[in-house]
Structure 1
Amino acid sequence: MASNHILGIDIGGSGIKGAPVDLAKGQLAADRHKIETPKGATPEDVAEVVEQIVEHFADEVDKNTPIGITVPGVIHHGVVKFAANIDKSWIETDADKLFTERLGREVHVVNDADAAGMAEVHYGAGKDVKGVVLLTTLGTGIGSALFLDGKLLPNTELGHLEIDGHDAETRAASSAKEREDLSYKEWAERLQRYYSHVEALLWPDLIIVGGGISRKSDKFLPRLDLRTPIVPADLRNEAGIIGAAWYAKNFA
């Protein structure tokens, strides 16, 4: 086991997945292990699954190394302050403390979109890009991560901008496409409205689009007319794991 292998764990709505990460290369050092997210997904239930993932990699990761874990919510000094798409019992939970005590080792918790953004900025589509870089994840909601010269402004929550009287993610997330059975052309019109609004506020130098649907980016990104270059994420579904590990290593 190389000393720079750090365990990253990504908590999602349908699955919790983790793997050791080789931070020198910015890639998984072993096949990821995924367990279905428990029904209800309370902090204690999720902590139990996370413990199972840690035990799965017990022989591959040094017990003295920290662990990085993503949570789909606003994380302020390790405490969950806002959670739109997970159980409300997470709010005001000291997630750093919960996981550290449960696992008996140092744990650092980070917003899931921020983790994906850190992975892309350090190893993926945003590597070496100067200026303002915005990553958005299109999934159940719209997650966002904002960077200036590679430095993160955490917990931006730009999926919750009010646009045309709606919480933006309720209209433009990929879940909205599925829920309303929108064609890619119809969905792209909503994405156009969203990204035009965001670029007018932030004037980014690059927009990166992540989330599972980024695999089909050729069906919707070419339909957008923006002044900002907009590209699919390089690391796709591994970004959260890699970013969580990077965060644990660099903010320990």
Structure 2
Amino acid sequence: MNRAEKATLQLQAVSVLGVLKETRTYAELSALTGLPAGDLNRYVNGHVLPGVERARTVVGEVGRETLAAELDARIELDEEGYVDNSGIVFDQPFLDLIAPVVAESFGFERPDVVLTAATDGITLAAAIASYFDARCAYAKKSKETAVEEFIEARQRLQSGIELTYYLPASALRSDERVLVVDDLIRSGETQELLLEIAEGADARIAGVFALIAAGDEGIERARARTDAPVGALTRAD
């Protein structure tokens, strides 16, 4: 880890602690993190940065558990079991906090490109791409008028409907590392198509990540398609 990466991790830890402090006393924050209340006060108020190991603990362990709990609190399910996550995907500062947690917790190889599907996954992909200093690309169900070459992936769903995603061929290059992300993974069909697009570009898969896994089907389907890490921050059953 170089100096810039260390500083980024330390600043992200301060951001996570600041969010936690909004609803907790320093004594409660100390009990949660295992760090002295006096040190936490100095971190939150910007007087000093936490050391790298402390920062990694805050972001990768405490941050993951806390943000997962926050996700759970924001998820709403209707009577038919459909997930309403609009309170998450439209909150860019919250997604910016999730990005370092993803980087520290899931063991993904550092990507060159973060790939998602239009439209709900774009804000998450942008946050993660920014954190990794990677490009962000998203596939669409229709072709861009001015683009001549596309990578496409097509699949016939159980309902009989044919689902096709298109990505401009210039968005991915051979041997680039691609992290596939989305806000929600349910059946895994969208993630499978995104993986197919990445493979069609001869790119390497760095991992598959979703904020929310609705059941196990999608996660297991993605794991069957790639040897790279696959994970979600929380579940909605």
TM-score, normalised by the number of residues in structure 1: 0.36
Larger Rg: 2
- Which has the larger helix fraction? 2
- Which has the larger strand fraction? 1
Higher relative contact order (CA 8 A, sep 6+): 1
TM-score, normalised by the number of residues in structure 2: 0.38
